[in-house]
Amino acid sequence: CKASGRNLSVGEYKHLNSSNNKLKHKHLPSAFGDLATLEILNLNGNRLTALPETFGCLKNITVLNLKNKLSYLPQVICQLPELFELNLSGNKIVSLPKRLSQLKILKVLSLNSNNLTTLPSELFCLTNIEELNLCRNQLTLIPDDVEKLKGLRVLQLCHNKIKTLPEKISSCSKLLHLCITGNLLTKLPRSIGALEHLRELLVNKNQLETLPRGIGSLKNLSVLECSRNHLVNFPLNIRNCSLLTSVDLSFNHLRTFPMGLCSGLSLCQLDISKNILSKLPPNIGEIHTLQCLNLSENRFTGECPKHLYRLHRLIHLDLSYNSIQTIPEGISSLKRVQVLVLQGNRLTEFPLELHHVRAVQVLDLSDNQIGRVPLEIRELKDLNLSNNQSFLFPVKVCDLRSLEKLKICHRRGIKLTTLPKTLSKLRCLRELDF
């Protein structure tokens, strides 16, 4: 139990931390209410199932953390007029009291990881709320009353059972962050484009087949995550979101590359892995700001898509688990690539063109059909050649003086019986798996 303030009597403490002490209700005496000057109270990680009535005397409390074993929200909390931040996450709360509306100046409310199935109208009387966390409950809908929370900036609804969002969510025009990951949404409200200040929209793990055109009106959008949905197309007017820096479209059903991402954006990270792409458009090279691109587990065959080689700022490129057989000379134009993942393709020879990609530090060529390995990439630090055709130690590897990690094991259980004496030249080697 820790308290901070001046070294005076208990009644003058301003900050009390009594977290993780296995406290039960009987351990909080009625005299607890005498801590009249207390402003910040942390009771997280205890075993409280209730609070003493005198708790309501703590009139100066501004921050209260109560992650315990509460099955209901104690009414006495509603008597704390200065309460600014209330954390009730990780309890077993099934309902909220009507008196909740008395917390007039509350700005941050965390109710994640409880057992809420519905939200009372009183919750939406807290019109000063700026951050509301309702993740990991049993909610099936968000009422139209959400429109009353006009000052809301952060709304967390992930991992519930929500099937629809109300159109009136557009009234929460100050929203900066909206997370609806892990629900049962089949569509987003058409009015979502009215959230003009929205910066982050996370809708992973739903059942979305398309996104509304209103997405293109989110002029301040920076992060868009739509992985693990059923998307078959992507709105062209996403190109209007000029501040977009990160997009995750992995685990969807996209057959064509989203053309709206190819121009006018500030895109730095794009994950479009685990879709059904078989080719890339020429104008993918117009994403001049792109640094990280994940195209793994698609349907690229034959030659590595040559249009990639116009992405001169790429640092991380993942093409694993496609059916690529050759790497053309143009890859040498990717002068900044530091991480190159070609695992699980159909390469039969070591791509000599990689010798010209001088910045590569991490190279994964595992699970291919490569025999001979003539390596000359001097800055390489991490090399994975596992599960290829060669059962001999690639002697050329010993010239890679910067190498720190080397994997050359075989899935078939075949082990190398000898290592070359020149292995001692790898002074920086920290990890060897053979």
Tokens of 76: 């006495």
Nearest to 161 by CA among 133, 142, 176: 142
Q: In the prediction, which pLDDT does 412 show?
A: 62
Q: Are strands 108-110 and 15-17 parallel, antiparallel or unpaired?
A: unpaired
Q: In the prediction, which pLDDT does 414 show?
A: 60
Residues making up the chain, counted from first to last: 434
Residue 332's region, left for phi above 0, alpha for psi from -120 to 50, else beta, is alpha
User: What is the SS3 string spanning the chain?
Assistant: CEEECCCCCHHHCCEEECCCCCCCHHHCCHHHHHCCCCCEEECCCCCCCCCCHHHHHCCCCCEEECCCCCCCCCHHHHHCCCCCEEECCCCCCCCCCHHHHHCCCCCEEECCCCCCCCCCHHHHHCCCCCEEECCCCCCCECCHHHHHCCCCCEEECCCCCCCECCHHHHHCCCCCEEECCCCCCCCCCHHHHHCCCCCEEECCCCCCCCCCHHHHHCCCCCEEECCCCCCCCCCHHHHHCCCCCEEECCCCCCCCCCHHHCCCCCCCEEECCCCCCCCCCHHHHHCCCCCEEECCCCCCEEECCHHHHHCCCCCEEECCCCEEEECCHHHHHCCCCCEEECCCCCCCCCCHHHHHCCCCCEEECCCCCCCCCCCCCCCCCEEECCCCCCCCCCHHHHHCCCCCEEECCCCCCCCCCCCCHHHHHCCCCCEEEC
Q: In the prediction, which pLDDT does 6 show?
A: 41
- Letter for the amino acid at 244? L
In the chain, domain spans:
1-138
Backbone angles phi, psi at 319, to 5 degrees: -120, 25
56-66: per-residue pLDDT in tens? 889 999 999 99
State the fold for domain 1-138: 3.80.10
- Share the mean pLDDT of the chain: 90
Predicted confidence pLDDT, tens digits, the chain (434 residues): 544 444 434 557 889 998 998 888 766 777 777 888 899 999 999 999 998 888 888 999 999 999 999 999 999 999 999 999 999 999 999 999 999 999 999 999 999 999 999 999 999 999 999 999 999 999 999 999 999 999 999 999 999 999 999 999 999 999 999 999 999 999 999 999 999 999 999 999 999 999 999 999 999 999 999 999 999 999 999 999 999 999 999 999 999 999 999 987 899 999 999 999 999 999 999 999 999 999 999 999 999 998 999 999 999 999 999 999 998 888 889 999 999 999 999 998 888 888 888 899 999 999 998 877 777 777 889 999 898 876 677 777 888 888 899 998 876 666 666 777 788 888 888 988 87
Query: Between the CA of residue 93 and those of 69, 141, 157, 163, what are the distances in Å?
Result: 8, 18, 16, 22
- Letter for the amino acid at 336? R
